[in-house]
Structure 1
Amino acid sequence: MYRFFRWMVRLVTFALAAFVVGVTGVWYFAARSLPDYNATYAVEGLSAPVEIVRTTENVPHIFGQTDADVFFALGLAHAQDRLWQMTMLRRTVQGRLSEVFGPETLKTDELMRRLDLYGAAMASVSAQSPAARSALEAYARGVNAWVETVNDQALGRGAPEFFLFDAPIPYWTPADSIAILKLMAAQGATQVETEVLRARLSLLGQGWAEDLMPDVPGTGVMALPDYATLFPSAVPETRSAKADEEGPLSPFGPAIFATASNAYAAAPSRSAAGGALMANDPHVALSAPSLWYLARLELSSGGVIGATIPGVPLVLSGRSPHLGWGVSASYADDQDVFVEELDPANPERYRTPSSWAEFRTRKVIVEVKDQTPITLTLRWSENGPVLPAGHFDLGTVTPPGHVMSLGWSALSPADTSISAALEIMQSQNVTQAIAAGEGFLAPSMNLTLADQETVGMVTLGALPRRATNHPTQGRMPTPGWLAASRWQGRLPYALNPRVENPAGGIVINTNNKVTDRAFPEHVSFDWGDTERVTRLTRLMGEREVHSRESFIAAQLDTVSPAARGLLPLVGADLWFTGQPAPEGTPERFRQRALELLAAWDGDMNEHLPEPLIYAAWMREFQSRVLRDELGPELAAKYTHLQPLFLERVLRNTDGAARWCDVLQSAPRETCSDIARISLDAALLGLSEKYGPQIESWRWGDAHEAVHKHAALGNSTLLGWIMNIRQSTSGGDFTLNRGVTRGTGPDLYANVHGAGYRGVYDFADPDSSVFVISTGQSGHPLSSHYDDLADRWRRGEYVPMSLDPELARAAASGITRLEPKAEND
């Protein structure tokens, strides 16, 4: 026994020692890639010394003698902190994820190869302005200089993820930066999804499409034919919703997760301090690290500071001493799905307005880790790339003997968006910035602007010119062989919606409808918001003059206009009805929930139970209404609340209350019946998960922000290390937006919101502030991996100063870059 015990002690001691050695080794190699911010590096590609002064929040302030040297240093700083993120963004747009992750990402790679965004980016390099070419080339040299430094000095391969995945890092090129901006267009693209969904609903008949996808109030709507009238052979198909989900790491997703934002500005006449004010908070998928990276660049045109995207040499939202600019998704209809008729005698040909034509084709090989490479045959019609039926649910509306192709402004091989954005960034006033936007093609965005004297807004992006007799107005897939379906170039930039120096002195955008112009100058039929705009309009109108603090308060506002609008309707016949029920009965549970909701002001505060009750009730009500008429597969596409649809149903607009009647039952159910049943079901589900004490429920327990690492976030152990989780307020329709997951066990997890917040005050520019949702570093061992996350959650900010002395006084490190001598 003694010998056994002694051997057990030895084995346990050996195991513990091996564990300690292993952990120490992992930590040592991972820590090697932590950059030294107080180092001096001799690098090739510089014309003169450059300083990168990093503040206590790790925001780099870059000072150089030429603009090219400044962009070089930005590339190096991005690579120091976000090299893994940059390479993954590039691999995504290139369609080369499967080389690293295997067959799991093959569907994503296939889609990206067929779209060939990267090919369009390579072709667009020659279209850039000389200044943009110089910036792109210098930036690429800076990225490559850091990669070479990592290799020469054995700095842990640049990021710890490179130890886990075999992901070689090719040299960065100007095309890579252009491609990443195109990838942002993909993340904000929604029109394909809405076209297919509207066609599917049209095939079901019964007027379901008019109720579920109603037109946003305003003029410019014309009658549409049914999809079955256009394509008689198209019939509703039963397909698995899961089978049509895009692959892991795909930039495409449901429209609710498309890029969104708030942006608003007040002219000096509406400012308490006499200087223009501006705020911007672009909404993106929450990730660790954030998509955004804070930086300040000292250029020949002046200092600029704000939010950059690693991989792109631009401040996309920020300010200079003279100008503030911010972006918000425009939801412009810059995509069309074309139905291409195949030649029955030769399926390699398709029908055109004049004859049969052969598809343009090219074969590509997709390397797959640990598997045989896959050969794809890419096809293009005159309208755009041909997409397989398995993407975007295209197969559900593709008639036999046809395929689908995609027209999209982002596919342009002469995309000058980088050049235009650089010119906007260096503009001195609102008028110059609006003029500079003409060359911006994709992603289409609303650009909100403020200078020392005025404010303005313009829609950026190439808007397709469609014929007035277009068969579907771009709202459903359209016959590709009809001349009336085809794009006729781009609408003149002068027709892009714009406003400068408005009479009221305020401009706002929450992805809401920005113009009432009739088709074909309508911009879009589908918009990203109908709710937040009502709240922001009210907040901006409540005060004659605004301050930085009132702009911050609006940015952090968590009142849901959707809740305020829907609750009086859904509970119209339930409030304060019936006799008090005994404790412990379902009736008493329902009465208590209704009492809480009746006194609630719609604030989606993380510490309250009311937001959770409301969210669960509305979700249950909508689900019951949709499943009966649409069936479970199509109803599953609606993972989030549709306020305009529910308002139509509850108000019985155009007879929409018919949705409440259960088709498969003999009695005629009313919306009040469904509302009562839905509330009881919602409360039962919540009590099973959070306990029977309704007052103890917290919205924040369900609405936990999940900043997820794209590659490692699903791992049990590594996800615990890499992911950042926080209890948060807000919801799908609050200005402080926190879009819920909508599927899976954590239905109400916060997965999409303001990754960047900035508020700019031109009365005192250095009192401007900003913050991102995680930290500047993408390295989990860095103190800057999540140091801004708590500030972001609490609604706090960090200073946005262009004063070089303040930057140096608060420096936590100064990196010096020196031109490498020829004999080094």
Structure 2
Amino acid sequence: MKIFKKVGYVLLTLILLIVISGYVFVQLHKPDYSGEKKLPKLHNEVQVYFDEYGVPHIYGETEEDAFRALGYVHAQDRLWQMELLRRIGSGGLSQVFGKDLIGTDKFFLSLGIDEASEKAVSKLDMNGDAATIMQAYLDGLNQFIAEGPTPIEFYLTGIDQTEFTITDVYNIMGYMAFSFAMGHKTDPLLSNIKDKLGPEYLKDLAIHSDTSTVWIKNYKNNPVDSVGNSVTALVTEALGKVNLPLFEGSNSWVLAPARTKNGKVIFANDPHIGFAQPSVWYEAHLETPTYSKYGYHIAGIPFPVLGHNRDIAYGMTMFENDDVDFYFEENNPENADQYRLNGTWAEYESVTKTIKVKDSSDIKFTFKKSVHGPILNGIADQIQGERPISMYWVYTQEENTVVDAFYEISHATNLGEFTSALPKIHAPGLNIMYGDAEGNIGWFATAKLWQVPDNVNTKLVFDASNKPSDTREFLDFEKNPQAVNPPRNYVYSANNQPDSISGMLYPGYYLPENRAKRIVQLLDPKSDWDSNDVSSMILDVNSPVHLEIAQDLMGAINIKEVSDKETKVLDALKAWDGIYSLDNEGGTIYTRWVYQVLENIFEDELGAEQFEQLLATHVLKRTIAPIIKSDTSVWWDDVSTPEILEQRSEIIKKSLVEAIGSLESDFGPDIAQWTWNKVHTLEHGHPIGQVDALRSFFNVGPFPIEGTREVINNLAFPYNSTGLYKVSSGPSTRRIVDFSDVENSISILPTGQSGNPFSEHYKDQAEMYVNGEFRKMMMNEEEIRSTKKSVLIFSPN
């Protein structure tokens, strides 16, 4: 008995030691939100007041000092996120996650993001204002690396912390630029469809501009002073494994004083980005005698991409222009190191790169480059066949001044200064939205847009018969789509088709009119908007377009040929109001039915793999409404059956039966149980949370959530056969700035400020976000000081 007691005491002692050690570890690895720290190179003391949600309000005597403090506090909350983002463009993911990411590293290294970054940095004036602020931010970031606690993810992956450089800032921006591009998912797939099935199969896909849909209107009468297969299916899948943010879409609208109750501009923006933990934005408020900004920062980038102060507000949506193109190259049959260029044989450039791989030896790989870009054969496994395919990307081909643009945007004090910075954004294509305290509003499509010849289809891989000149002529920025102070007294963007540019339509991968149509429908009749109205609108989950599609589906059904069970389901769908609330059944029926229709339309011709690839494109989103309405599309034929052509009605009826069977299998025969909350859920995944044992610690959620694809509150998901709609992207913040009461402007983040799982701010906004709540973006110094949760003082060494 004494032996058992001794063993018991020993076990209790060990458990107590483990508990104490765990507690001490957690306390030592939390971010420091209070106290005093010495910061080298600081000129004067900086005070950082943290509010109840962990947002730092930074007060300094100089911009350099304030950005040094920002670098430190940003790093203590987001260093792991910074580490991953800087590794993508430089091919460093395999060193963290092992062999599964080698293909991803090869692809991003071949894109040349790292080389473009080094080239841009070599041309940077290191004594200029932008470089000075970048270096100050990096000083603070690197000081945290030198003296702060190592984030737990570094222990779990076994990698070392190393200092950040300005090149890392550019590499992070390069990855973000690539994540905007849609051409890499679309062009090779459409070329394969054309080659495999014939050009008639492209006619009913919404590839080109649709003149019947809602467009973003240009307005320039009030100018301001201007000073075969999807190539990266592998990459998309691999990046999904590590839960990194991919830019997807976005909404924004800006109301002129004539549209608002209080006679001041109201600005709204909710960029749609892939959900991950931590979420993409870090909020920070900086005040110095020369700089005032409440901004949203990407990890590792000092200048806010979204921001406002008492004078101006700005934000962005994705332009969705076509800045990625593919070329079939013609090899010299007598020399595989040469390709045809302008009628002669030119030498491929040969590039060799080294990839460090976790728990394995380094690997070297070599690829070729033509004048158009890297040859993807042998890099992207999906590129089959012997015809070399190269990839042209505006971001790496043209001079890179994007970081300079965001420095100037964040420092602009009026509309003229703001617009003078915009031509420096060559890629990615962005719709930059603007509003100010003087009553000005604006929308600007920013990108280098090349003048596409009428005979060139940019959605296909270029060959000798469909190929532009290798010398591209770009439009002057003044000819980009834009609107400043238009007569309708609002501007907006929902990634939809922009109006004509100097008599031409610019090709792109625009999203369907659904959100745009709803935005215009809500804005047009009302002229007394306030911030409460706008906050309700930004949460809108009503889809008139989905209702129209549902009516087209039901209209194809011969009511005399349906069973009693099918009649009840159709009655439930007829009663649906198009609103995706948690307790509605109509949205569940509609979504399951549409997927079955798409599968029955496309999969027989494309096969399972290419059908999945089509589902991931904007082309498919634009195609759903018109193809379901069409009676004559060649796609209605089921090529797996001997009949020459199935009727549209047959396919739609077959899909209804399959959808009902699927819903009954999942939820039983009671239609009242087929509610949206059971199928539409949001979980914010952390890279380490992919390990089942660590999922509940690192991931946030899952939560049932309102919304769906292509409503204003765009909680999107990939279509698949499971019938479970796991949200993959949505509003990365919902942000409303009201210049009649700018200090009470509001926002929300999807999870929280911190990426440190030991922080109280790791997920303290998650349920608020799901519930459609907001919190204040404080700018009043007296209020900030009196309501602060903690204060951290940085002092010179």
Decide which of 699, 702, 705 is 1:723's aligned counterpart: 699
CA shift in 2, pair 1:588/1:218, >3 Å: same
Match for residue 609 of structure 1?
A: 585
CA distance in 2, matches of 1:251, 1:414: 32
1:123-142 equivalences under 5 Å are 123-128=119-124, 130-142=128-140
Gaps of 5+ in 1: 221-236, 582-586
Residue of structure 2 in register with 1:673 after alignment: 650
Change (3 A) 1:321 1:741: same
Q: Which runs of 5+ in 2 are unaligned?
A: 214-227
TM-score (normalizing by structure 1): 0.89
- Partner secondary structure for residue 301 of structure 2: coil
**Alignment deviations for residues 783-803 of structure 1 (CA, whole Å, 9 cap, x no partner):** 100001111111111112321
| 2:363 corresponds to 1:385 | no
Q: Measured at CA, do residues 311 and 412 of structure 1 come closer, stay the same or move farther in structure 2, by a change above 3 Å?
A: farther
Q: Give the Cα separation in 2 of the matches to 1:291 and 1:415.
A: 23
Is 1:334–1:408's contact at 8 Å kept on the other side of the alignment? yes
Q: Deviations over 1:464-507 (max 9, x none)?
A: 344x26x6342211138998342425322122111111011110
Q: Name the SS of the counterpart of 1:192 in structure 2.
A: helix
Structure 1 counterpart of 2:630 = 652
Q: CA 1:692–1:145 in structure 2 vs 1: closer, same or farther (change >3 Å)?
A: same
**Which residue does 2:356 correspond to in 1?**
367
Q: Which segment is superposed worse, 762-771 or 456-465? A: 456-465
- 1:678 is displaced (CA, Å) by 1.2
CA distance 1:666–1:18, shift in 2 (3 Å): farther
User: Cα gap change, 1:378/1:170 in structure 2, threshold over 3 Å: closer, same or farther?
Assistant: farther
Between the aligned partners of 2:690 and 2:720, the Cα distance in structure 1 is 16
1:562/1:733 contact within 8 Å kept: no
SS of aligned partner of 1:248: helix
Question: Any residues of structure 2 matched to 1:540-551 within 5 Å, and which?
Answer: 540-551=523-534
Query: Are 1:554 and 2:552 counterparts?
Result: no
Letter matched to residue 537 of structure 2: A
Partner of 1:97: 93
Deviation of the 1:15 alpha carbon: 6.6
Q: Name the CA shift for 1:184/1:677 in 2 (closer, same or farther; >3 Å).
A: same
8 Å contact kept, 2:435–2:441: yes
Instruction: Write the distance in 1 (CA, Å) between the matches of 2:757 and 2:355.
Output: 31
Aligned to 1:70: 66
Contact conserved, 1:330 with 1:446, CA < 8 A, in 2?
A: yes
Deviation at 1:128, TM superposition (A): 4.3
Q: What residue identity is the alignment partner of 1:784?
A: H
Paired residue for 1:495? 479
Deviations 1:358-384 (A, max 9, x none): 222232211111112110114322122
Contact between 1:124 and 1:413, CA under 8 Å: does it hold in 2? Answer: no
Aligned: 1:415 with 2:400: yes
Q: Which residue of structure 2 lines up, in the alignment, with residue 767 of structure 1?
A: 744
2:216 paired residue number: none
Select 2:506's aligned residue among 510, 519, 523.
523
Question: 1:268 and 2:257 equivalent?
Answer: yes
1:249 aligns with 2:239: yes
2:180 to 173, 179, 188: 188
Q: Relative to structure 1, is the Cα distance of residues 193 and 783 closer, same or farther in structure 2, using a 3 angstrom cutoff?
A: same
- Pair 1:208 & 2:184 matched: no
**Mean Cα displacement is larger for which, 755-764 or 545-554?**
545-554
**Cα deviation per residue 1:126-164 (whole Å; 9 max; x = unaligned)?**
4446111111111111100111122xxxx3x1x111110
Equivalent in 762, 780, 792 of residue 803 of structure 1: 780
Q: 3-state DSSP class of the match of 2:239?
A: coil
Shift of residue 29, structure 1, vs aligned partner: 2.5
Q: Which residue of 1 aligns with 2:792?
A: 815
Which of these residues, 102, 107, 110, is aligned with residue 111 of structure 1? 107
Amino acid at match of 1:425: S
For 2:494, the equivalent position in structure 1 comes to 510
What residue is the counterpart of 1:403 in the other structure? 388
CA contact (8 A) 1:740 1:747 kept: no
Q: CA–CA distance in 2 between the matches of 1:483 and 1:650?
A: 33
**Aligned pair partner of 1:460 in 420, 423, 446:** 446
- The yes-or-no answer on 1:633 pairing with 2:609 is yes
Contact 1:106-1:247 at 8 Å conserved across structures: no
CA distance in 2, matches of 1:26, 1:607: 42
TM-score computed with the length of structure 2 as normaliser: 0.91
| CA displacement 1:746-789 (0-9 Å, x = unmatched) | 74111100011110101111121111101011111221000011
Letter in 2 for 1:82: R
**Paired residue type of 1:434:** T
Q: Deviations over 1:417-449 (max 9, x none)?
A: 111111112212233312211111222100010
CA distance in 2, matches of 1:208, 1:454: 46
CA contact (8 A) 1:703 1:748 kept: yes
Alpha-carbon RMSD: 2.9
| CA contact 2:184–2:230 (8 Å) conserved in 1 | no
Correspondent of 1:143 among 141, 144, 149:
141
**1:205-354 equivalent positions in 2, closer than 5 A:** 205=198, 207-218=200-211, 244=234, 246=236, 248-249=238-239, 258-354=247-343
CA distance, structure 1, for counterparts of residue 599 and residue 257 of structure 2: 47
Please show how residues 438-457 of structure 1 align to structure 2 within 5 Å.
438-452=423-437, 453-457=439-443
Q: Which amino acid aligns with 2:498?
A: V
Structure 1 counterpart of 2:671, from 675, 681, 694: 694
Deviates more, 1:76-85 or 1:555-564: 555-564
Kindly tell me: are residues 371 and 480 of structure 1, through their superposed partners in 2, closer, same or farther at Cα, counting changes over 3 Å? farther
Counterparts of 2:242 and 2:506, CA distance in 1:
21
Q: 1:622 corresponds to which letter in structure 2?
A: L
Three-state SS of the structure 1 residue aligned to 2:350 is strand
Aligned twin of 2:468: 484
Q: What is the Cα deviation at residue 101 of structure 1?
A: 1.2
Paired with 1:477 and 1:356, the residues of 2 have a C-alpha distance of 21
Is the partner of 2:789 in helix, strand or coil?
strand
Q: Which deviates more from structure 2 when the two are superposed, residues 616-625 or residues 737-746?
A: 737-746
Corresponding pairs, count: 776
CA distance in 2, matches of 1:527, 1:252: 27
Per-residue deviation, residues 248-303 of structure 1 (Å, max 9, x unmatched): 2269999x964210010011111111000110000111111101111111244442
Tell me by how many angstroms 1:685 deviates: 1.3
Distance 1:331 1:394, change over 3 A: farther
Question: Kindly, what percent of the aligned residue pairs are identical?
Answer: 26
Question: Any idea what the Cα deviations from partners look like across 1:155-208, whole Å, max 9, x if unmatched?
Answer: 3x1x11111011212211112112211111111111122211221121111611
User: Contact 2:515–2:711 at 8 Å: present in 1 too?
Assistant: yes
Classify 1:309/1:244 alpha carbon distance in 2 versus 1 (closer, same or farther; 3 Å). Answer: closer
| Counterpart secondary structure, 1:478 | coil
- For residue 350 of structure 1, report the CA deviation from its aligned partner: 1.6
Cα separation, 1, equivalents of 2:89 and 2:132: 23
Q: In the alignment, what sits opposite 1:227?
A: none
| 1:13 to 1:414, Cα distance in 2 relative to 1, 3 A | farther
Which digits, 9 at most, give the CA deviation of each residue in 1:668-725, with x for residues without a partner? 532222222212211211222223322023212211111110x212211211211112
Q: Is the 8 A contact 1:629 1:659 kept in 2?
A: no
Structure 1 242/546 Cα, relative in aligned 2: closer, same or farther at 3 Å? closer
